[in-house]
Amino acid sequence: MKTRRQILEDCIVRGSLLAGVATMSQTQLLAFWQQGEAQAGKPTSTEVLGPFFRKGAPNNTNMRVSGDPGFPLRVSGQVSNTKGQKVQGVKIDIWQADHVGLYDVQGYRYRTKLDVESASEYVLETILPGHYDDRPAQHIHYMITAPGHKTLITQAYFATDPFFEGDPAKNYKKRGMVSSPELVRNVNLFEGPGQPRATIQFDICLEKA
């Protein structure tokens, strides 16, 4: 099995923008995308809160500090509800492990509470989270609140993660890890000046309270 680093390096060498494509057949990829499309209008699947949530994170759209080890990642998305409406007054707690799979349990490194503007879109600069033994797929935790809507606790995963062995549509069930394949997002990889960067889009669909 290739390591995450090998997969990323292969993609950079090939100049592939869709890192997930490197290990997925066209049929698999199409099926995976169609699953995502079918999800439109359905509430985002829930996941466990986990033991590492901390209240009180600052509103910080750039969790990556210059010189941070770890692969730069931009996460963006829209927040809507099952009626297809943009949602106002959204707040998103996001927390994740650092590049070696450790959470900051004393302070607020790789933790933020975003105040989403009226356009219902968010953008966050961070790094790809590392793996840790208890939950061996890379993930980012989310808790989303908005007036008139149910609180949503979920997680974003990465299609390029070696955990999914190139087939997240099938392997998301491995070890009961992921509640739904739509939480596993395609990873776009860009070779920017200086340093390559990964991006994922993680849209959120809330249920009315």
Query: How many residues lie near Fe ion (CB under 5 A)?
Result: 1
**Contact assessment for residue 80 and residue 205, using Cβ atoms and an 8 Å cutoff:** yes
Q: Is 181 exposed, middle or buried (0-12, 13-18, 19+ CB in 10 A)?
A: buried
Q: Which is nearer to Fe ion, 24 or 137 (CB)?
A: 137
d(CA 144, CA 29): 29
Q: Which is nearer to Fe ion, 50 or 136 (CB)?
A: 50
d(CA 203, CA 98): 22
Near Fe ion by CB under 5 A, which window of 47-55, 69-77, 111-119, 175-183?
A: 47-55
Which bin fits 176, alpha (ψ -120 to 50), beta or left (φ > 0)? left
Q: Which is nearer to Fe ion, 36 or 50 (CB)?
A: 50
Q: Which is nearer to Fe ion, 15 or 176 (CB)?
A: 176
- Tell me how far, at minimum, the Cβ of 84 lies from Fe ion, in Å: 30
Name the token pair of 186: 């395609």
Near Fe ion by CB under 5 A, which window of 15-23, 48-56, 171-179, 182-190?
A: 48-56
Rounded to the nearest 5°, which phi and psi values hold at 184? -90, 115
- Tell me how far, at minimum, the Cβ of 156 lies from Fe ion, in Å: 11
Amino acid letter, residue 106: Q
Give the CB-nearest residue to Fe ion.
Answer: 50
Q: For the chain, give the number of residues.
A: 209
Q: Which is nearer to Fe ion, 87 or 92 (CB)?
A: 92
Near Fe ion by CB under 5 A, which window of 14-22, 50-58, 65-73, 79-87?
A: 50-58
- Tell me how far, at minimum, the Cβ of 12 lies from Fe ion, in Å: 27
- Tell me how far, at minimum, the Cβ of 45 lies from Fe ion, in Å: 16
Q: Which is nearer to Fe ion, 22 or 204 (CB)?
A: 204
Near Fe ion by CB under 5 A, which window of 49-57, 65-73, 182-190, 198-206?
A: 49-57
In angstroms, the Cα distances linking 141 to 46, 77, 109, 145 are 11, 14, 14, 14
Q: What is the DSSP letter of 201?
A: E
Q: Which residues bind Fe ion (CB under 5 A)?
A: 50
